[in-house]
């Protein structure tokens, strides 16, 4: 072993080696961690580090086959902006708005619940385009709902409903409203 600092040729003293050995033996992991190991030609396995009882022994490893891993449900992708053509059709009245929701006067907690229920009902009725009016805010400040609603639409509970959304045209509320495009109901 060489000492730190980049000097080659200097060896650690026996006291330094003994001190270092004591430090490395006294280290305990903060918590157990699972590591997924996936070689290119073999299926992935999970390697779990177990607690070491003998400090001089190497940690034992448990390997579970891939089939025993829990199945994780994939969440749908986050909504995207509406394409320009769809937005223009809605703004010009060539594509009908199926439902409207005005969130003025709601608290954020109330608005979240109302919006989720509204989008569920609209989707179940076969609606494809909803207009959600958030308001612009007061006194030059951006409103709380104007900031929050786009973030909510990207949450997992909304992803099964929403394909995309975009700012509404001036005739439908402009910066204070959103067009929300809904997914078709699967039977």
Query: Tokens standing for 44?
Result: 């992935």
Report the C-alpha gap between 5 and 14 in whole angstroms: 18
Instruction: Note the pTM of the prediction, 2 decimals.
Output: 0.55
Report the C-alpha gap between 14 and 49 in whole angstroms: 31
What's the topology of domain 84-182? Ribosomal Protein S8; Chain: A, domain 1 (3.30.1370)
pLDDT at 47 over 50: no
The whole-number average pLDDT for the span 180-186 is 85
30 against 132, higher pLDDT:
132
The domain limits of the chain are 14-68, 84-182
Percent of the chain whose pLDDT exceeds 70: 67
CA proximity to 159, closest of 96, 74, 95, 57: 74
- What confidence tier does 159 reach under pLDDT thresholds 50, 70, 90? confident
Predicted confidence at residue 53, as pLDDT, reads: 46
Query: Tokens standing for 15?
Result: 């006291």
6 against 165, higher pLDDT:
165
User: What confidence tens digit (pLDDT) does each residue in 89-116 have?
Assistant: 888 887 788 899 998 888 888 999 999 9
- What confidence tier does 78 reach under pLDDT thresholds 50, 70, 90? low
pLDDT at 34 over 60: no
160 against 121, higher pLDDT:
121
């Amino acid at each position: 072993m060489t000492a730190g600092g980049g000097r080659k040729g200097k060896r650690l003293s026996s006291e330094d080696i003994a001190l270092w050995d004591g430090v490395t033996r006294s280290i305990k992991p903060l918590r157990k961690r699972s590591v997924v190991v996936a070689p290119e030609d073999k299926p992935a396995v999970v390697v779990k580090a177990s607690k070491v009882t003998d400090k001089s022994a190497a940690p034992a490893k448990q390997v579970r086959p891939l089939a025993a891993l829990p199945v994780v449900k994939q969440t749908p992708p986050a909504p995207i902006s509406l394409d320009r053509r769809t937005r223009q059709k809605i703004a010009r009245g060539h594509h009908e708005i199926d439902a409207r929701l005005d969130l003025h006067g709601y608290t954020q907690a109330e608005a979240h619940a109302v919006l989720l229920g509204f989008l569920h009902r609209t989707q179940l009725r076969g609606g494809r385009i909803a207009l959600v009016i958030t308001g612009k805010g007061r006194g030059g400040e951006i409103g709380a709902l104007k900031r929050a609603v786009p973030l909510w639409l990207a949450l997992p509970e909304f992803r099964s409903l929403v394909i995309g959304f975009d700012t509404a045209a001036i005739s439908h509320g402009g910066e204070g409203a959103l067009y929300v495009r809904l997914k078709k109901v699967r039977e």
